A and B are shown apart, each in its own frame.
Chain A
Amino acid sequence: MIRLFAIAGGLFFAVAALWSFVTGAYVAATEGLGEETAEHAFHEHPKKLHLASDGVFGKWDLNQLQRGYQVYKEVCSACHSMKFVALRNLSDLGYNEDEVKAEAANWQVPGIDPNTGEATTRPGLPIDYFPSPYPNNVAAAAANNNAIPPDLSLITKARHNGSAYVYSLLTGYQAQPAALLEEFPDSKTPDGLHYNPYFPNLNLAMAPPLNADQVTYADGTEATVDQMAQDVSAFLTWTAEPTMVERKRTGWPVLGFLLFATILAFFAKKQVWAAVKPKPAVTPAKRKD
């Protein structure tokens, strides 16, 4: 009886699913599989980017991180916050205690006037977090034509292949290809937006932020757009996961130990089972007492 009900139920679900299939197939046959879109046709995957922190043995390139920090400080921080990173974290980039203090003091963080209690700003201390350029999202939207600049703390983890994505986006601005306009005449980049094939919908609110020699690197590296984009991608890889290198470094001894223990366990298992492995006249294990 239960099997009759089951067969009936099974046929019900199967027919319902096939009904959806037939309806869908009919629509596909009469109207095609949906129109090709400009986003789909012209979106590009990120370019290759090699960072010292890549791979299972990756290490931070501290000089590059310092350069990237300089780019963030002098360019990105005008619009983008980085609220999960503390100024004290700069010590990871190879700055000593005094340098971190001095660097922190360069940032103006929100404070309270000790006499009146009114909101004011004061020089940052290492324990402070990176200040946001806007007091709130409404202000950020108002200042940027309604496009809120995303927080950059986690940006390289919040995008597929994030480090390469940031690098590609920063170096990917270009004129809209003529082929695109030919194929999709309605997809002209709107005023106030900027064509960038690495951005998911191709039209980005952020104007090209980097120009050659925009920053002057202390270590004498030439500040090309490509160099700055690589450096800031490396820096944002660090901000997204400052513990990444520590994580990889911890992993090796753990895996090494586990491999050793597993090999031991394999031989122990073999040894225990040696007593009952198939033999013509097997005597099953008996208890001792």
Chain B
Amino acid sequence: MAETTSTAGTDTTVVTDGEDGVRRRDFINIAAVSAAGVGGVATLIPLVSQMSPSADVLAESSTELDVGAIEPGQAVKAVFRKQPLFVRRLTAKEVEEANATDASSLRDPQTLAERTKEGHGDVLITMGVCTHLGCVPLGAAEGEIKGEFGGYFCPCHGSHYDTAGRIRKGPAPTNLEVPEYEFTSDTVVQVG
């Protein structure tokens, strides 16, 4: 833009309006180029936002589950937002183990009670996504390795989770994520 004003303004025989005139005219050029800039930036809004989740994807972001049929010691894999969701009914022994651990000594200090809903302390619902780099940990299906702490074990980089899904050993930085959910009845859970 400096180019514009200097070239146009150089010819002093033409611009005779004096100082004020020059300034007013420069202002028009600057305003026009600024308007083009504002328009360009505004155009970016749709260009960028078209990449975020579309309406049909957002609509899939809640899932209903019936947890009544899960026996203690058993776990099921469900799908929440196209990712695995682990639903596990803990045995009394597993609950005891989880509570016996001093939460404050953990990498990501949380108690089992903080990770379950009141009245349903034995139903552990977590994402089946390792917090390290997103692999699916083993331990939900029958016969899979549950790791050194009897919960879940991620084979990608060796993260061990305990019976409350808390990280105990390996590279993962935090416990398995507990998604937002609520019990809509005694046995039905709505996730998300």
Contacts and interface: CB of A to CB of B under 8 A. Distances in A.
A264 B56 contact: no
Given A275-B8, A283-B13, A285-B8, A264 B28 contact: yes
Interface in B1-38: 4, 6-8, 10-11, 13-15, 25, 28-29, 31-33, 35-36, 38
A274 B11 CA distance: 10
A129 to B, nearest CB: 9
B143 interface: no
Interface residues of B, number: 24
A185 B158 CA distance: 86
Interface string A125-152: 0110000000000000000000000000
A258 interface: yes
Interface in A238-281: 257-258, 260-261, 264-265, 267-268, 271-272, 274-275, 279
A88 B7 CA distance: 59
Given A258-B39, A261-B32, A264-B32, A272 B8 contact: yes
Contacts of A271: 8, 25, 28-29
B63 to A, nearest CB: 10
Interface of B: 4, 6-8, 10-11, 13-15, 25, 28-29, 31-33, 35-36, 38-39, 42, 55-56, 59-60
A287 B7 contact: yes
Nearest to B6: A288
23 contacts: A86-B59, A88-B55, A258-B39, A260-B35, A261-B32, A261-B39, A264-B28, A265-B35, A268-B28, A271-B28, A271-B29, A272-B8, A272-B29, A274-B8, A274-B25, A275-B7, A275-B14, A283-B14, A285-B7, A285-B10, A285-B11, A287-B10, A288-B6
A286 interface: yes
A275 B11 contact: yes
Contacts of A285: 7-8, 10-11
